[in-house]
Amino acid sequence: MAAYDLAIVGGGIAGLGVFEAAGRAGLKAVLIERGAPGRETTAVTSGLLHGGLRYLPYDVGTSWLMCREIERLRTESPGLLTRQEFLWPVYRGEGLRLGLIEALHDEYDLFAAMRGARRHERLSAAEAVARLPGLREKGLLGAVSFDEWRVDVPRLVDALARSGSDAGGDLLEGRRVASFAVRGGRVAAARLDDGGEVEARVFVNAAGPWAEEVARLAGASMVRLRLRKGVHLVIPGAPPPRGLIFPGPGGRRVGVYPRKGETWVGPTDEPHDGPPGKACVQAQEQEDLRRALALVLPELAARPCRAVMGLRPIPRRSGAAFLLSREHRIFDHAAEGLPNLLTLAGGKLTTYRPMGEDVLAVVLKKLGRASPVPAPALEEAGMPWPLIRAGGLAASAGLLSFYAVRRAVLGAR
Ligand SMILES: Cc1cc2nc3c(=O)[nH]c(=O)nc-3n(C[C@H](O)[C@H](O)[C@H](O)COP(=O)(O)OP(=O)(O)OC[C@H]3O[C@@H](n4cnc5c(N)ncnc54)[C@H](O)[C@@H]3O)c2cc1C
């Protein structure tokens, strides 16, 4: 009889979400992390619980899910969150019209009450500079102000680890899964680099960017990720009083995030091919971000800074990179002869709880226990993803067009 019901490999936000959910369901769980929990990708995110403004034009479902989670965390753990106001300035010649940005925010405002945000405001150039001193005034046409939430990531990581441990789970820190023992067509144990073995009835691979590698240790090959590198500049010293959204390298919008006495600027979003361990910040990426920042906040850009980077572990689906959904995906390795191994990939800091619950529902099914939540594994039910994507895209485009036309023709709010 295995010592554990469930063994989770990887203690980032994804693995911790599963660990917490398993504890709540009364499972005997163990989480194996080769370093310290939350110190890899999870530590270098922007630390925002955002409502998915970026996804609205093509993935309104992800935006809705993210707003629902913000509402829940605000209610259950308000101390972890801080309101963060952002300005989105628009300059002459940028090609983007304030009216269109406002139309996007009209759509975002549909979720404002849900995520405890104020409705957006349109600011004149003078009002924008008054709110964010140092903002370049030349060519500034105006700005849109809106709210998001910042989360204290180390405290969230600690809270999830404690919750799983208090429920009877074991956390093995500084222990790397080096291989798996596969016996009788099942994963019997995870073999650790110190020679130890962890036996469990079900295994969940939540190794983030390393999920493909960890799946291969069990002889599984169905996990396919597209890794996308995100670089942030970190600027010590007093941060600006508000956040800012601006066109980063290549025109992609990036942010300025005041954060614990520092300012984070980014992240970029570029493909990374090759093993995760080979990823690093290129001097050119750092310089490109700094130059883009200098066009909006020149004084901040002149300060000395360092750079950090992380890899987004996005499950592969066909479609243009910018249309890749940030939804999580559960790979059930039963399809390749390993019925007690699952891989969780993708997802957001903001959606750690639905990720954990979705995995838990599949784990409980495999353990033959009743599930407290409806099984959500849409992938496994063979849902027609291209059609769902096309439907979501059409719905998002329809809403955006509606608000754009209303704003342009009727001038209505
Ligand atoms: C730059 C950037 C900014 C982001 N900003 C936001 C944001 O503001 N808001 C938001 O909602 N989302 C954001 N995200 C997305 C999301 O937060 C991350 O994708 C998420 O944190 C990834 O977590 P993870 O648990 O999957 O991976 P990780 O945090 O990397 O966790 C995986 C863990 O597995 C461990 N591991 C690997 N191999 C082994 C092994 N063999 N044995 C044991 N342990 C192993 C690693 O040590 C690591 O701790 C951002 C992502 C990036 C890259």
Is the C-beta atom of 230 inside 6 A of ligand 1?
yes
Interatomic CA distance for residues 152 and 301, integer angstroms: 25
Residue type, 249: P
Token output for 249:
């390298």
Residues 139 and 118 in one domain: yes
pLDDT-derived band at 252, boundaries 50, 70, 90: confident
CA atoms within 13 A on the CB side of 144: 22
Residues 290 and 163 in one domain: no
Distance of CA 208 from the midpoint of ligand 1 (Å): 5
236, part of any domain:
yes
Residues 280 and 239 in one domain: yes
Interatomic CA distance for residues 279 and 274, integer angstroms: 8
302, part of any domain:
yes
Mean model confidence pLDDT for the chain: 90
Residues 308 and 161 in one domain: no
Residues 303 and 191 in one domain: no
Q: Which of 164-168, 213-217, 407-411 has the lowest mean pLDDT?
A: 407-411
Distance of CA 11 from the midpoint of ligand 1 (Å): 9
Residues 334 and 235 in one domain: no
Render pLDDT for 354-370 as a digit per residue (tens, 0 to 9).
999 999 999 999 999 97
Residue ID of nearest Cα to ligand 1 atom 9: 48
Render pLDDT for 35-72 as a digit per residue (tens, 0 to 9).
999 999 999 999 999 888 888 887 787 788 889 999 99
Residues 271 and 164 in one domain: no
pLDDT-derived band at 24, boundaries 50, 70, 90: very high
Distance of CA 302 from the midpoint of ligand 1 (Å): 30
Q: Is residue 117 scored above 50 in pLDDT?
A: yes
Average pLDDT over residues 254-269: 95
Is the C-beta atom of 44 inside 6 A of ligand 1?
yes
401, part of any domain:
no
In ligand 1, which atom is closest to the CA atom of 37? 49
Residues 238 and 297 in one domain: yes
135, part of any domain:
yes
Number of domains in the chain: 2
146, part of any domain:
yes
Which has the closest alpha carbon to 9: 204, 222, 200? 204
Q: What is the pLDDT of residue 27?
A: 97
pLDDT-derived band at 289, boundaries 50, 70, 90: very high
Render pLDDT for 147-162 as a digit per residue (tens, 0 to 9).
999 999 999 999 999 9
247, part of any domain:
yes
Residues 211 and 98 in one domain: no
Residue ID of nearest Cα to ligand 1 atom 25: 12
CATH number for position 133 = 3.30.9.10
Domain boundary among 251, 281, 312: 312
Interatomic CA distance for residues 114 and 111, integer angstroms: 5
Distance of CA 380 from the midpoint of ligand 1 (Å): 24
Domain boundary among 312, 333, 358: 312
Residues 233 and 368 in one domain: no
pTM: 0.90
Q: Which residue has the higher pLDDT, 81 or 391?
A: 81
Q: How many residues does the chain have?
A: 413
Residues 164 and 274 in one domain: no
Residues 160 and 213 in one domain: yes
408, part of any domain:
no
Is the C-beta atom of 174 inside 6 A of ligand 1?
no
Q: Which range marks the domain in which residue 131 is found?
A: 82-151+227-312
Q: Is residue 380 scored above 50 in pLDDT?
A: no
Residue type, 213: E
Distance of CA 310 from the midpoint of ligand 1 (Å): 8
In ligand 1, which atom is closest to the CA atom of 229? 53
Interatomic CA distance for residues 311 and 209, integer angstroms: 6
CATH number for position 199 = 3.50.50.60
